[in-house]
């Protein structure tokens, strides 16, 4: 079991130490000691991704790079036990690189951090990232043992690695997302991926790659697993491409003039695509809520968390309904706020009112530009809570709106005299601004406020439907804002690259289920938005036709090559479900060379000759 550990002890020790130092550095710079459980630590996650991949590559590529594969294999151990030994070495390295920083933190943490948030949370955070590292190790090990040429193995490994990142991003914002409850499930999912990848790789490793023979059944199954994973990852990529196109298409902006005339037009967003994400996430969250009010544009729905999180010198998060506020100092020389400048005693755990009752599950925190206060908004209760930053107050106090109005959103509103926006509270009955803790009605001097108008947008990337109703429920505006030019065609063409399986699923998906994933800024469209909700059946039919055509092509090609009936059937079925990507990958696995027969030459025609033979 220790064969590879012995062989690679130097390089693994070096890598392990580097990962441990990187982890420790990230923990320091990201202020992990004062983070509650589940707080997003992107740096820690990045170290785990890279660390897992590097350790796997260092172990599995060494023999290929040094030309020592035969030297290693030819010893009384067996290929699978050798592979076990490689996995053991990798896991030991990654675990050590995780445990060592925790141990050091346990020793010196209390010195550096007299008031740590939660040591259990700290360990969970770390475990979340460590599980990512193990999953990446497993996936890279699987990719590098696929029975094909090294170029394709490398490309497959890259595809699988990105797929894993995509899957993880769907499962959670990060291993350490704000969804604290998801962390154990996330860790479990990552460990299952790691174990499954290693198990597949162990199965494959007994079959040496041979370009001149068709893969064995087990190897084909392994290749299909790899392809399925790559297709899943590619789906995430396709979704990203589509969203990029959608951002160029633009989103509808609805405006109402003083006479009450409603207009909707597409506004290309270009470089503002990040804001689209933010806009969409808010939109998704409120999909089934009551219609909003106000003459809005996309700016109304900008989430505010991203705006301040990089600029303010405090961090907030919710845990079990309580808000944790880490109030940081700032190193002005480098414009950073490392943990060394965390002012002692400035970690606050606050709830609602003096009783510290938990906030609603949908509570969001936002700082106010003009009020230097932290506002917690509870959409489900329509309530606002305020806590002045830097004050010694130890509770969020209620922030009532005038006339008992209920808050609908904390948003930004464009001023009439320019492009500048201002933060406002949107209520059912009016729009309000806060100054020094006092709520006042707000006006931009252009549109009468308080006019009860609600707007909904049915999602469709190339033809969203905008509907505006007044307070009485009368539809004032109902129009499909179609995109023009080539973009819709491009969008549909991209959709054809998706696996038909996902398109069929899209046909039955509701609009609400288009986006999955916990990351509000990067939701992933796993179903096809052009088809979702039963729209565009022609696209489903076209997709199915393409899948069947490619499957037929696959069947005929494999028959021509001489593949068995079972193999043809397996691949054809796989291509029907996987579409264009599966077809392309099938050609890479089932190569013409593997089935080719040598060319007959003169030596073939000549009878075997033995010029000289001695008796044995």
Q: How far is the CB of 562 from another protein (least distance, A)?
A: 13
Place of tokens 């907030």: 316
Q: How many CB atoms lie within 10 A of CB 179?
A: 18
What does the radius of gyration of the chain's CA atoms come to, in whole angstroms?
29
CA 310 from chain centre, in angstroms, equals: 20
How many residues touch another protein (CB under 8 A)?
44
Write the interaction track for another protein spanning residues 160-199; mark x where CB under 8 A is met and - where it is not.
----------------------------------------
| Nearer to another protein (CB atom), residue 302 or residue 595 | 595
Contacts from 357-362 at CB under 8 Å and sequence distance 24+? 357/321, 358/320, 358/321, 358/322, 359/318, 359/321, 359/322, 359/323, 359/385, 360/321, 361/321, 362/285
- Can residue 119 be called a binding residue for another protein (CB under 8 A)? no
| Nearer to another protein (CB atom), residue 67 or residue 418 | 67
| Nearer to another protein (CB atom), residue 474 or residue 599 | 599
Q: How far is the CB of 249 from another protein (least distance, A)?
A: 48
CA 139 from chain centre, in angstroms, equals: 17
| Nearer to another protein (CB atom), residue 111 or residue 611 | 611
Q: How far is the CB of 12 from another protein (least distance, A)?
A: 12
Q: How far apart are CA 482 and CA 265, in angstroms?
A: 9
Q: How far apart are CA 538 and CA 401, in angstroms?
A: 50
Q: How far is the CB of 549 from another protein (least distance, A)?
A: 30
- Can residue 68 be called a binding residue for another protein (CB under 8 A)? yes
Q: How far is the CB of 611 from another protein (least distance, A)?
A: 5
- Can residue 2 be called a binding residue for another protein (CB under 8 A)? yes
- Can residue 208 be called a binding residue for another protein (CB under 8 A)? yes
Q: How far is the CB of 80 from another protein (least distance, A)?
A: 11
Place of tokens 């509701």: 510
- Can residue 474 be called a binding residue for another protein (CB under 8 A)? no
| Nearer to another protein (CB atom), residue 67 or residue 445 | 67
| Nearer to another protein (CB atom), residue 18 or residue 441 | 18
120, 151, 486, 610: residue in contact with another protein (rule CB under 8 A): 610
210, 265, 478, 482: residue in contact with another protein (rule CB under 8 A): 210
| Nearer to another protein (CB atom), residue 208 or residue 400 | 208
Q: How far is the CB of 211 from another protein (least distance, A)?
A: 8
- Can residue 203 be called a binding residue for another protein (CB under 8 A)? no
Q: Which stretch binds another protein (CB under 8 A): 32-40, 191-199, 394-402, 603-611?
A: 603-611
- Can residue 151 be called a binding residue for another protein (CB under 8 A)? no
| Nearer to another protein (CB atom), residue 83 or residue 442 | 83
Spell out the alpha helix ranges (H) of 250-319: 273-285, 305-309
- Can residue 473 be called a binding residue for another protein (CB under 8 A)? no
- Can residue 598 be called a binding residue for another protein (CB under 8 A)? yes
Cα dihedral angle (456, 459, 460, 461), rounded to 10 degrees? 100
Neighbouring residues of 272: CB distance < 8 A, sequence distance ≥ 6: 247
111, 151, 486, 599: residue in contact with another protein (rule CB under 8 A): 599
Give the 3-state secondary structure of residue 307. Answer: helix
The secondary element (H helix, E strand) that includes residue 169 is: helix 150-171
Contact present, 251 and 266 (Cβ < 8 Å)? yes
**b/e per residue 501-522 (b: at least 16 CB within 10 A):** bbbbbbbebebeebbebbbbeb
Neighbouring residues of 267: CB distance < 8 A, sequence distance ≥ 6: 250, 251, 252, 253, 297, 298
Tokens matching residue 32: 């992990």
| Nearer to another protein (CB atom), residue 259 or residue 616 | 616
- Can residue 616 be called a binding residue for another protein (CB under 8 A)? yes
**b/e per residue 421-432 (b: at least 16 CB within 10 A):** bebbbbbbbbbb
| Nearer to another protein (CB atom), residue 11 or residue 494 | 11
Give the 3-state secondary structure of residue 110. Answer: helix
Write the interaction track for another protein spanning residues 70-99; mark x where CB under 8 A is met and - where it is not.
xx-xxxxxx--x------------------
Q: Which stretch binds another protein (CB under 8 A): 273-281, 499-507, 550-558, 608-616?
A: 608-616
- Can residue 611 be called a binding residue for another protein (CB under 8 A)? yes
Tokens matching residue 555: 């069947």
Binders of another protein in range 576-595 (CB under 8 A): 593
Q: How many CA atoms lie within 13 A of 347 on its CB side?
A: 17
Q: How far is the CB of 191 from another protein (least distance, A)?
A: 30
Q: How many CB atoms lie within 10 A of CB 107?
A: 9
Cα dihedral angle (40, 45, 46, 47), rounded to 10 degrees? 130
Contact present, 379 and 362 (Cβ < 8 Å)? yes
| Nearer to another protein (CB atom), residue 474 or residue 611 | 611
Q: How many CB atoms lie within 10 A of CB 162?
A: 16
Q: How far is the CB of 310 from another protein (least distance, A)?
A: 43
The secondary element (H helix, E strand) that includes residue 431 is: strand 431-435
Tokens matching residue 543: 């997709």
- Can residue 562 be called a binding residue for another protein (CB under 8 A)? no
Give the 3-state secondary structure of residue 8. Answer: coil
- Can residue 443 be called a binding residue for another protein (CB under 8 A)? no
Q: Which stretch binds another protein (CB under 8 A): 1-9, 157-165, 442-450, 526-534?
A: 1-9
Q: How far apart are CA 207 and CA 221, in angstroms?
A: 13
| Nearer to another protein (CB atom), residue 3 or residue 119 | 3
| Nearer to another protein (CB atom), residue 16 or residue 529 | 16
- Can residue 615 be called a binding residue for another protein (CB under 8 A)? yes
- Residue in 453, 416, 435 with CA at minimum distance from that of residue 424: 435
Q: Which stretch binds another protein (CB under 8 A): 45-53, 233-241, 278-286, 605-613?
A: 605-613
Q: Which stretch binds another protein (CB under 8 A): 66-74, 294-302, 507-515, 535-543?
A: 66-74
- Can residue 484 be called a binding residue for another protein (CB under 8 A)? no
Q: How far is the CB of 109 from another protein (least distance, A)?
A: 37
Give the 3-state secondary structure of residue 315. Answer: strand
Give the 3-state secondary structure of residue 551. Answer: helix
**Residues near another protein (CB under 8 A):** 2-3, 6-7, 10-11, 66-71, 73-78, 81, 208, 210-213, 593, 596-599, 601-604, 606-616
């Amino acid at each position: 079991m220790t064969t590879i550990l012995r062989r690679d002890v130097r390089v693994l020790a070096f890598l392990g130490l580097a990962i441990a130092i990187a982890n420790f550095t990230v923990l320091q710079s990201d202020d992990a000691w004062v983070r509650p459980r589940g707080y997003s630590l992107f740096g820690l996650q990045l170290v785990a991704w890279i660390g897992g991949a590097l350790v796997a590559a260092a172990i599995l590529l060494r023999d290929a790079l040094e030309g020592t594969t035969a030297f290693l294999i030819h010893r009384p151990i067996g290929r699978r036990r050798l592979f076990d030994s490689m996995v053991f070495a990798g896991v030991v390295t990654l675990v050590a690189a995780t445990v060592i920083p925790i141990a050091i933190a346990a020793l010196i943490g209390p010195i550096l951090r007299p008031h740590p948030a939660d040591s259990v949370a700290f360990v969970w955070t770390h475990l979340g990232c460590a599980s990512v590292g193990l999953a990446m190790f497993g996936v890279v090990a699987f990719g590098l043992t696929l029975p094909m040429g090294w170029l394709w193995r490398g490309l497959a490994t890259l595809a699988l690695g990105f797929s894993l990142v995509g899957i993880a991003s769907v499962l959670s914002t990060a291993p350490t997302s704000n969804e604290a409850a998801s962390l154990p499930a996330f860790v479990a999912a990552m460990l299952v991926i790691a174990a499954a990848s290693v198990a597949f790789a162990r199965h494959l490793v007994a079959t040496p790659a041979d370009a001149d023979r068709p893969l064995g059944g087990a190897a084909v199954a392994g290749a299909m697993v790899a392809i399925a994973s790559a297709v899943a990852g590619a789906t995430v990529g396709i979704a990203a491409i589509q969203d990029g196109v959608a951002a160029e298409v633009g989103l509808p902006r609805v405006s109402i003039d003083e006479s009450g005339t409603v207009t909707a037009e597409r506004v290309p967003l270009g470089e503002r695509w990040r804001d689209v994400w933010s806009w969409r996430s808010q939109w998704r969250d409120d999909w089934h809520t009551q219609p909003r009010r106000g003459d809005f544009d996309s700016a109304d729905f900008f989430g505010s968390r991203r705006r301040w999180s990089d600029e303010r010198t405090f961090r907030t998060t919710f845990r079990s309904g309580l808000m944790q506020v880490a109030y940081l100092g700032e190193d002005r020389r480098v414009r950073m706020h490392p943990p060394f400048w965390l002012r002692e005693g400035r970690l606050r755990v606050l709830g609602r009112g003096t009783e510290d009752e938990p906030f609603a599950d949908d509570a969001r925190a936002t700082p106010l530009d003009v009020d230097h206060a932290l506002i917690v908004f509870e959409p489900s209760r329509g309530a606002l809570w305020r806590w002045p930053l830097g004050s010694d107050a130890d509770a969020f106090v209620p922030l009532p709106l005038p006339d008992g109005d209920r808050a609908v959103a904390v948003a930004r509103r464009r001023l009439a005299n320019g492009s500048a926006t201002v933060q406002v509270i949107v209520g059912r009955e009016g729009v309000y601004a806060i100054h020094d803790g006092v709520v006042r009605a707000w006006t931009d001097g252009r549109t009468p406020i308080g006019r009860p108008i609600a707007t909904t947008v049915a999602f469709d990337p190339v033809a969203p439907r905008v509907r505006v109703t007044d307070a009485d429920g009368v539809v004032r505006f109902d129009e499909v804002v179609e995109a023009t030019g080539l973009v819709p065609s491009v969008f549909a063409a991209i959709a054809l690259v998706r696996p038909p399986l996902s398109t069929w699923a899209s046909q039955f998906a509701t609009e609400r289920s288009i986006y999955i994933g916990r990351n509000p800024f990067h939701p992933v469209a796993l179903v096809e938005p052009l088809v979702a909700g039963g729209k565009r059946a022609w696209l489903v039919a076209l997709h199915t036709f393409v899948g069947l055509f490619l499957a037929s092509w696959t069947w005929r090609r494999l028959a021509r090559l001489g593949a068995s009936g079972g193999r043809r059937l397996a691949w054809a079925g796989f291509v029907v479900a996987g579409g264009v990507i599966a077809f392309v990958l099938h050609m890479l696995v089932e190569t013409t060379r593997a089935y080719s027969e040598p060319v007959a030459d003169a030596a073939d025609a000549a009878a075997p000759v033995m010029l000289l033979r001695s008796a044995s």
